[in-house]
């Protein structure tokens, strides 16, 4: 069992930055691939970024590539999402999630994730 708690969301002007954190409980954090997803009102949950269990592999959605950076600290059981050059279209609830799978094709699909946090709101004003 893994419990995830996100923090770091808030209101920021376009062009600004935020750093999201996701703290995980449990001693098996380092065995999970961790993803960030987001969901805006009236839309489906969409993939943002993912980092493999050892941090060696990362993927990004095209919409955030070059602006967002995912990282993890397994000693602190925490995954981060540094978001720079934020745009109003980045406004959403951001969720972190954990998946116990080595199948990379599953990492982009929210339905394949085993555990989810409660989400943190990010609002970017124009």
Q: Over the stretch 74-120, which tens digit does the pLDDT of each residue have?
A: 999 999 999 999 999 999 999 999 999 888 888 999 999 999 999 99
Task: Identify the pLDDT of residue 103.
Answer: 87
Distances (CA, A) of 2 to 69, 83, 96, 97: 23, 25, 12, 10
Task: Identify the pLDDT of residue 102.
Answer: 82
Q: What is the mean pLDDT of residues 7-30?
A: 95
Whether residue 4 has pLDDT greater than 90: yes
Burial class for 72, CB neighbours closer than 10 Å (0-12, 13-18, 19+): buried
Task: Identify the pLDDT of residue 79.
Answer: 98
């Amino acid at each position: 069992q893994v419990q995830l708690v996100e923090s770091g969301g808030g209101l920021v002007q376009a062009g600004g930055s935020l750093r999201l954190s996701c703290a995980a409980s449990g001693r098996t954090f380092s065995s999970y691939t961790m993803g960030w997803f987001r969901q805006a009102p009236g839309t489906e949950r969409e993939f943002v970024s993912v980092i493999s269990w050892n941090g060696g592999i990362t993927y990004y959605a095209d919409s955030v590539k070059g602006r967002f950076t995912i990282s993890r600290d397994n000693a602190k059981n925490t995954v981060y999402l540094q978001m720079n050059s934020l745009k109003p279209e980045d406004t959403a609830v951001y969720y972190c999630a954990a998946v116990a799978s080595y199948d990379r094709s599953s990492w982009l699909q929210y339905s394949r994730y085993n555990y989810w946090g409660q989400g943190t709101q990010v609002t970017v004003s124009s």
